[in-house]
Amino acid sequence: MPGLLRGVARTAVVAGTATAVSNRVSRRQAGRWAQQEAPQAAAAPPPPAPAPAAAPAADDMNTRIEQLKQLSTLKEQGVLTEEEFAEQKRRLLG
Q: What is the pLDDT along the chain (94 residues), one digit of tens a residue?
A: 667 777 777 887 777 787 877 888 888 888 888 888 766 655 556 667 666 555 556 778 888 888 888 888 888 888 888 888 888 888 888 7
pLDDT (0 to 100) of residue 49: 66
Distance of CA 88 to the CA centre of its chain: 20
| Residue type, position 12, single letter | A
pLDDT (0 to 100) of residue 51: 61
pLDDT (0 to 100) of residue 72: 87
pLDDT (0 to 100) of residue 25: 82
Q: Is 88 exposed, middle or buried (0-12, 13-18, 19+ CB in 10 A)?
A: buried
pLDDT (0 to 100) of residue 53: 56
pLDDT (0 to 100) of residue 39: 66
